[in-house]
């Protein structure tokens, strides 16, 4: 009798273990949530104005030159980070509707190289503009998932996002600055399209998803003003590369 009970106990234990649904049963839920940490690199894809090399004239001071001619304008990669939430709605076993509202801290850079040191900056021939950005990103995407293989699943992501810049007000207020001390600014709101690839890794009580994503703004994201750092730029498209870890 004891032997029969022991065999029955270990049989139940064995089959329960084999049937264990790692990931906390998340695949059986129609709706789930989580959080994310993001590492972001950004750059502007710049289109230069036709007269971008020309000396900038101080229209407030009898058109006096305040810069030398430009040799180059470029946007090097800059880094930032984001924290946010995951809101996921299952459509079917291979398709999800997904939103990841995120707060992003990411300053962008633009470098200006002059033929000679700029008139009001005699020690350096280079000037770097840091475009302050504290963004709220509101993305919406379709997540197309492969079949689950044990505790692994691959997916691709396609979608769009709406971004709001929280740093475009007081932090960049330069109304009383001299022209040579003006700063580049982001537009307050803009939209982007994005695509990514990732993997769902199932642990006992949660799911972790590393993801790589690229996004491009649909339109120009720079606020155009009449000063030496805005005038040479006709258009600036923002491009982001994002590595994310999602926990659900």
Residue 23 has pLDDT above 70, yes or no: no
Position 66 scores a pLDDT of 82
Instruction: Report the CATH number at residue 170.
Output: 2.40.160.20
212 in Cβ contact with 240 (< 8 Å): no
Among 36-45, 102-111, 125-134, 150-159, where is mean pLDDT lowest? 125-134
Among 16-20, 21-25, 46-50, 100-104, where is mean pLDDT lowest? 16-20
Task: Categorize the per-residue pLDDT at 8 as very low, low, confident or very high, splitting at 50, 70 and 90.
Answer: very low
State percent of the chain over pLDDT 70. 84
Three-state helix/strand/coil letters over 51-109: CCCCCCEECCCCCEECCCCEEEEECCCEEEEEEEEEEEEEEECCEEEEECCEEEECCEE
Residue 54 tokens read as 């020309």
Residue 8 lies in a domain: no
Number of folded domains that form the chain: 1
Question: 194 vs 60, 156, 202, 215, CA distance in Å?
Answer: 43, 11, 25, 4
Average pLDDT over the chain reads 85
Position 178 scores a pLDDT of 79
Residue 149 DSSP one-character state: B
Residue 63 lies in a domain: yes
Residue 5 has pLDDT above 50, yes or no: no
Mean pLDDT within 3-10: 41
Task: Categorize the per-residue pLDDT at 144 as very low, low, confident or very high, splitting at 50, 70 and 90.
Answer: very high
Residue 214 lies in a domain: yes
Residue 7 lies in a domain: no
Tens-digit pLDDT profile for residues 83-106: 999 999 999 999 999 999 999 999
Task: Categorize the per-residue pLDDT at 232 as very low, low, confident or very high, splitting at 50, 70 and 90.
Answer: very high
Q: If we measure between CA atoms, which residue out of 188, 117, 212, 201 comes closest to residue 151?
A: 201
Residue 12 lies in a domain: no
Residue 70 lies in a domain: yes
Residue 10 lies in a domain: no
State which residues form the domain around 127. 22-247
Residue 230 lies in a domain: yes
Residue 21 has pLDDT above 80, yes or no: no
pTM of the model: 0.81
Tens-digit pLDDT profile for residues 171-215: 667 777 778 888 898 899 999 999 999 999 999 889 999 999 999
Rounded CA-CA distance 114/129 in Å is 14
Q: 145-154, 220-229, 235-244: which has the highest mean pLDDT?
A: 235-244
Q: Give the list of residues 6+ apart from residue 122 with CB closer than 8 angstroms, or none.
A: none
């Amino acid at each position: 009798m004891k032997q029969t009970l022991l065999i029955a106990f270990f049989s139940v234990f064995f089959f329960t273990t084999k049937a264990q649904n790692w990931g906390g049963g998340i695949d059986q839920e129609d709706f789930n949530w989580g959080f994310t940490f993001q590492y972001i690199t950004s750059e502007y894809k710049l289109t230069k104005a036709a007269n971008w090399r020309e000396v900038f004239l101080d229209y407030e001071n009898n058109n006096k030159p305040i810069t030398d001619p430009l040799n180059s304008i470029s946007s090097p990669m800059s880094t930032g980070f984001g924290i946010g939430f995951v809101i996921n709605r299952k459509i079917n076993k291979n398709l999800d509707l997904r939103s990841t509202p995120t707060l992003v801290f990411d300053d962008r850079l633009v470098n200006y190289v002059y033929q000679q040191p700029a008139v009001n900056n005699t020690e350096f021939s280079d000037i770097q503009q840091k475009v302050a950005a504290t963004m709220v990103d509101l993305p919406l995407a379709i997540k197309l998932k492969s079949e689950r293989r044990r505790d692994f699943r691959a997916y691709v992501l396609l979608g769009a996002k709406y971004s709001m810049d929280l740093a475009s007000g007081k932090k960049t207020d330069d109304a009383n600055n001299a022209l040579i001390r003006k700063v580049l600014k982001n537009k307050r709101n803009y939209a982007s399209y994005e695509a990514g690839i990732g993997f769902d890794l199932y642990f006992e009580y949660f799911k972790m998803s590393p993801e790589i994503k690229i996004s491009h703004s649909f339109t120009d994201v720079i606020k155009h003003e009449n000063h030496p750092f805005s005038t040479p730029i006709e258009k600036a498209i923002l491009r982001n590369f994002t590595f994310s870890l999602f926990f659900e």
